[in-house]
Amino acid sequence: MADKYNHLEIESKWQKFWDTNKTFAAEQCSEKEKFYALDMFPFPSGAGLHVGHPLGYTATDIICRKKRMEGKNVLHPIGWDAFGLPAENYAIKTGVHPRLSTNKNIENFTRQIKSLGFSYDWDREVDTSSEEYYRWTQWLFLQMYKQGLLYEESKPMNWCSKCKVVCANEEVENGLHERCGAVVERKKLKQWMFAITKYAERLLTDLNTLNVYICHGWGASADSNWFGNIKKLCENKKLRVAVPSFPNSQNPVYADWKAEFEKTFTQKSNGLWAQDVLIGHSLGGGFLQRFLSEESVKIDQLILVAPTANDCGITEIANFFSEDFDYEKIKQSANNITIIASDNDEYIPLHDFETLAEKLEANLVLLPNRGHLMDPNFPELEATITHIARSVLNWPDKIKTQQRNWVGKSEGMLFESPVKDTNLKIQTFSAHFEAFMADTFVVIAPDHPLLKNLLEGVDNKEEILEKCEEILQKRAIRGFEEEKEVEGIFTGRYIVDPVGNGELPIWVASYALADYGTGIVKCSCHDERDFNFAQKYNIPLKPVLFPTDSELASKVRNLEICYSDMKNGILQEPNDFKGKKSGEVREALKKYLEKNNLATRKVSYRLRDWIFTRQRYWGEPIPFVFDENGKCYPLHESELPLTLPETDNFLPNDNGEPPLSKVTDWVNVQGYVLPDGSVKTVQNGEAPAGVEVKQFTRETSTMPNWAGSSWYWLRYMDADNTNAFCDFEAQNYWGPVDLYVGGAEHAVLHLLYARFWQKVMYDLGLVSTKEPFKKLVNQGLIVSHAFQNENGGLVPVDEVEEQSDGTFVHTPTGKVVKKVVAKMSKSLKNVVNPDEIVEKYGADTLRMYEMFMGPFDQSKVWDTGAVNGIRKFLDRVWRLFTTTELVDACPEKKYISLTHKTVKIVGENIDEFKFNTAISQMMVWVNEFSKLKTMPRRAASKFIRILSPFAPHIAEELWNKHFANEAGTIAYENWPTFKPELLVEDSVRYAVQVNGKLRGDFEISAEADKETVIETAKNIENVAKYLAEGEIKKEIFVPKKIVGFVVK
């Protein structure tokens, strides 16, 4: 073996070995426990990878390599999110077909990724732009269409008249098209919409951690039967669980049990929630039936185990069944109801279970010869709990919060008011209705569909509409930036406020959004934007909500400040609530408004339906056709995939019609309508006898780039299936994804859309879990240095020179610039290509450097100069294992302890994504073992195995030299174990300081007490010399680390 570590030779050797032997191919539906790790797949851009990409990929690779060594069947796939704007824009600019440029980019990405040694299963590679893949995207699209989740609507889009294209929001900067600099206009175009709002509540609910409540039966307790085992299983699955111990279980009283149950779930999570699971055994099942009959709650799962449906002739429990149960209400309270019973229950006849299952429309699971199901072992219920746990999310709280905010649930009141001098009535929604008596004006969105009708008969109608267009144009230019100053215009109309506030003027306001609430809002001085708007346009205001502080209340009364504390503010109106704290009477106010017919309860969501078409070429064709009357028909599934036609013209028409509209041979087709309402196309009018052949035109818009990424994790599970997008058995084995790693910037688009598609597929019976990704981890950014001029602008790094005094000068201008941290960007010339690092230092070095830079989830600054430090460490590892003889002799206890400690720390750190501290510990191990003349074989074996996930190439080579096996690879060797009793060292080393300066060190028994350690330190010759220079004023003792003395 070479003395010097030749990374180019060794890495190429092992990458070829892994590729040839398909080392990392996952077994399909193995008996082994599965582990599915997934990286957010990349868009194959022309620029290729930069050093930021491998950060997440390396982390998942480390995890996967460890899981394989732990005996798991690991699925770690890779693929390409290949449809999208960049490829089409490149085609428009150069004439190169998107397919050709995409294939070329994929080849480059593949080369780069393979050069980094990631353990992907390349046999499962997917490309969302391939016909084999998008056939199933189209198929899923049709299934959703059949469920009524798609509809067509005209929507205003960003339109560049110069380029004749619809621009994505990302392509608009300051109201200009980033490609050509032309002003972007708003143009109404027909779009297909996904009714994602139908799933708004479930998208919210399933973000929450579910609670499991287990109710025991008559004569039992919280520790009886299987309750303890199921409770422990729930805890292991990260579910919150409670088993209330009901009072007086021998002579139970329903009211007492109800009180205990309510106390339990109130303390646990302040109520029962829509994702919760209730389990009742025997009388516990009867108790839950009565509870759900009487209370208006919504839960996810009701599991009744050998449940009582009557008193079974037992006097002590008769009070639970004194009233008939409301089975319809019970059915409405739970999404799923399951009854588990035995065919030989000694207390309850089989007929009772069958009758109850029929009444509740429940799934009845009958087990043979299990009696009253009281055995501590209950594998069937364990399997049910395990299945439920698969859909519980382990996601960062910040991502959950972002999704909650994006869905934006508001529970409030809906007011309806007539418009003076018209036949119109308008509805306004308010989530903060507590101060409804303060309303003095109304605002309407500038693009509200009711606006034109509202303005009929108003003298300055055109002026108002022009102002609306101006506001909308400014909004388009502003994009997602917050509006600096609100603006608007009076419509000349008034509502007659039904709550008694008189006639309120209706204004168009820039901050009113047509697609939030009703798009019309009643306004008061108790909202910051309303307050500022009214102040600007001199609209009268009337405060009715005040703080308790008299001085502050005076400022509110004088309209000097806006007061909006709906929780602690004191109401002055209406009279029924005068002097009450508004947050405490919110529910009472709702009832007051309802009772007086002033408003109705309403839940509103910020989430809007999803525009699912693009007027582009490079996307999935939509499998719809239209007859001569414009009626839409889905294509028959046998027509899939509907492939993109060849063309060399990728620009839309002047009127905004997509590029595909110009491919007339493809657009105009003949076909006939099948009994199921779908269309089968024919060539040259050839069709079965008796059918009517009609003329049709194809839908010419394509799907957005989100389509392929909204289900791709499922295709990896069964990538070669030509009969289905994924076999049900395959997804039941592999799903959900155990670990999903990617950027936090995808929190509210990709991740939300993926969850939506998964839920629809779950409802269609196509998948077995409600959620696609069990655990989500976000990596931080790898950023680079850049240079900032005096105006705050950034300049390219190749235009900057460092001066002898350490300052930096921008050479074109001669001005001093400041070195700052910024994202990597081609324009700034600060992008680092991983190819250069791999060529010079090696893939293992790059992998370990990125993991060593800092905490995984935090941003880190790339420093090419620091990469060599990791390379030196690997060189040291190489020398240690190639020049030191391996022996079977047992080393000193401290080396045994260090090895077991290192195995423990590295293993735990990998699981916790603390890769930097894992590498630090391996460095400690190498430092200590480098002091030995011979290497203990067992310690060497353990170290190479824990190193292998981080630096797989060098680990394979060293393993092959010292521990060669039949498989020829370390990849499936057992992950090393540690013994807790060997973690404790016999001795420890103390550093000794005098007045803060190191004056010596010594080794002593780890069991030595404080007094012994301090006395030993004092007797060290060099330490004693410094102690003699004065009087010891203070002794410092840090166990197993430091002894210090303060001498004066």
Residue 510 pLDDT > 90, yes or no?
A: yes
The pLDDT of residue 169? 65
How large a percentage of the chain has pLDDT more than 90?
78
Return the sign of the alpha-carbon dihedral for residues 214, 219, 223, 229.
Answer: negative
Is residue 480 over pLDDT 60? Answer: no
The burial of 585, by beta-carbon neighbours within 10 Å (0-12 exposed, 13-18 middle, 19 or more buried), is given as: middle
Q: What is the pLDDT of residue 985?
A: 67
Residue 97 tokens, joined: 């077909």
279, 292, 840 from 331: Cα distances, Å: 15, 9, 67
User: Which H or E run includes 673?
Assistant: strand 668-673
Predicted local distance difference test score (pLDDT) of residue 966: 78
The pLDDT tens digits of the residues spanning 552-564 come to 999 999 999 999 9
Among the listed residues 366, 369, 378, the one whose alpha carbon sits nearest the alpha carbon of residue 228? 378
Q: Among the listed ranges 86-100, 323-337, 435-449, which one has the minimum average pLDDT value? A: 86-100
Tell me the C-alpha to C-alpha distance, in Å, between residue 258 and each of 212, 264, 648: 17, 10, 72
Q: Chain-centre distance of CA 1026, in angstroms?
A: 60
State whether residue 567 is helix, strand or coil: coil
- pLDDT category of residue 159 using cuts at 50, 70 and 90: confident
**Residue in the block written with tokens 């269309």:** 679
Output the pLDDT for position 177.
Answer: 80
CB of 606 closer than 8 Å to CB of 683: no
- Arithmetic mean of pLDDT, 289-314: 94
Of 137-141, 572-576, 961-965, 1035-1039, minimum mean pLDDT range: 961-965
Separation CA 486–CA 492 (nearest Å): 19
Residues 734-758 have pLDDT tens digits of 999 999 999 988 888 899 999 999 9
Residues facing residue 885 across a β-bridge: 934
Question: Can you tell me the distance from the alpha carbon of 494 to that of 487, in angstroms, rounded to the nearest whole number?
Answer: 19
Q: How far apart are CA 501 and CA 503, in angstroms?
A: 7
Average pLDDT over residues 308-315: 92
**Res 911: pLDDT:** 97
Q: 913-951 as b/e, with b when 16 or more CB fall inside 10 Å?
A: bbbbebbebbbebbeebeebeebbeebbbbbbbbbbbbb
Query: pLDDT value at position 1009?
Result: 86
pLDDT in tens, 397-412: 999 999 999 999 989 9
Query: What local confidence, expressed as pLDDT, does residue 8 receive?
Result: 96
Return the exposure string of 482-505: e unless at least 16 CB atoms fall within 10 Å of the residue's CB, then b: eeeebbbbebbbbbebebebeebb
% the chain with pLDDT above 70: 98
Q: Rounded to whole angstroms, how far apart are CA atoms 451 and 462?
A: 12
Of 79, 187, 102, 193, nearest to 704 by C-alpha is 193
Is 301:277 a contact under the CB 8 Å cutoff?
yes
Model pLDDT, residue 660: 95
Helix, strand or coil for residue 347? coil
CA-based radius of gyration for the chain? 35
List C-alpha distances in Å: 886 to 315, 391, 565, 876, 902: 78, 49, 73, 16, 19
- Residue 465 pLDDT class (50, 70, 90 cuts): very high
DSSP state of 621: B
Residue 978: count of CB within 10 angstroms of its CB = 18
User: Which residues, 6 or more positions from 250, have their beta carbon under 8 angstroms from its beta carbon?
Assistant: 218, 219, 316
pLDDT at 1013 over 70: yes
Rounded Cα gap, residues 24 and 66, in angstroms? 13
- Give the closest residue to 160 by CA, choosing from 124, 187, 184, 133: 184
Residue-averaged pLDDT of the chain: 93
| Domains in the chain with CATH codes | 1-19+830-982 (1.10.730.10), 32-143+706-778 (3.40.50.620), 150-189 (no CATH), 208-392 (3.40.50.1820), 409-605 (3.90.740.10), 621-700 (no CATH), 784-822 (no CATH), 987-1047 (3.10.20.590)
Confidence label for 338 from pLDDT (cuts 50, 70 and 90): very high
Q: What is the pLDDT of residues 16-37, one digit of tens each?
A: 999 999 999 999 999 999 999 9
pLDDT-derived band at 1, boundaries 50, 70, 90:
low
Per-residue pLDDT band at 479 (split at 50, 70, 90): low
Instruction: Record the pTM.
Output: 0.88
Q: What is the pLDDT of residue 53?
A: 92
- Beta strands 240-242 and 211-215, pairing class: parallel
Among the residue ranges 731-740, 774-783, 979-988, 991-1000, the one predicted with the least confidence is: 979-988
The residue behind tokens 């028994």 is 1005
Distance CA 1003, CA 989 (A): 4
Q: What pLDDT digit, counting tens, does each position of 425-434 carry? A: 999 999 899 9
| Beta-bridge mates of residue 173 | 176
The DSSP call for residue 392 is -
- State yes or no: pLDDT of 581 exceeds 80: yes
Distance separating alpha carbons of residues 692 and 712, to the nearest angstrom: 39
> Measured between alpha carbons, how far is 1015 from 968 in angstroms, rounded to an integer?
56
On the question of pLDDT at 2 being above 60, the answer is yes
pLDDT band with cut points at 50, 70 and 90 for residue 186: confident
